[in-house]
Amino acid sequence: MDKLSVLGLAVALGAIALGYSFEGGEISALFNGPALVIVLGGTFGAVMLQTSGSTFKKALKISFWIFLPPNYDIDEAIEQVKRWSHKARQEGYLSLEDEAIMNPDAYVSKGLSLLIDGTSEQKLRDTLEIDLLLERERLLESARVYEAMGGYSPTIGILGAVLGLIQAMSFITEPQKLGEGVATAFIATIYGVGLANLLFLPMANKLKQCVEQKMLYHELLAEGIIAISLGESPSNIELKLEAYRVERPSLVNK
């Protein structure tokens, strides 16, 4: 659980609610079902219109990374590569076949399979780099779905406010009801702006960070597999991969 994400959302919502209550407002007045339906429904509909089905499904699938980000243990990854190197030098590449089949990470499994097949260093590097670039683009495209939501949400909020004002105008001869209707109408604007800046845009940025962390983690493993193909010793491989541990400590999410 990413405690900072939970705390950040709680602080943002709490500050708004607290500030509003200090001004004498009632928190219950900020809850309006129709306005929420208009903003959320309109935002999701607009994004679904511009996004492919596979990308939208992927965006929903990785949304849990906001509060439960993947764990990338650099120390363990380096030790794993060293074990592969030891085994390959002592028993040959074929001894890594079980690791290639059983590894839950499809990217690592493919890299080890290419290594076992005796793929040349250049072809191995090219294949892993292309896969890395394509994977990165697919994940970033999914993260951009929330960025698009952050763009549409405020506008949909304004649309909801206008619809509310149209409804409020039916009470033009009743000043008290008219005032209440106008206040309710602007809640849609609050929802639109609030969801964009407190949820959708922060989600997009957080997901992009998670994607970059995953790519760097895979880059480390790819460099390790390529080093094994070149016959480098485990100690040399560790020295080469040490830079990931020193310069990119944010990869370790604990």
Distance CA 14, CA 168 (A): 30
Element (H, E) at 241: helix 234-247
Amino acid (1-letter code) at residue 34: P
Q: Global pTM? A: 0.81
What pLDDT band is residue 45 in, cutting at 50, 70 and 90?
very high
pLDDT score, position 5:
83
Q: How confident is the model at residue 246 (pLDDT cuts 50, 70, 90)?
A: low
Written as one letter, the residue type at 51 is T
User: What would the pLDDT profile of 124-168 be if each residue is shown by its tens digit?
Assistant: 999 999 999 999 999 999 999 999 999 999 999 998 888 878 877
Distance CA 198, CA 12 (A): 7
3-state helix, strand, coil in the chain (%, to 5): 85, 0, 15
**Exposure string (b/e) for 25-43, b if CB count within 10 Å is 16 or more?**
eeeeeeebeebeebbbebb
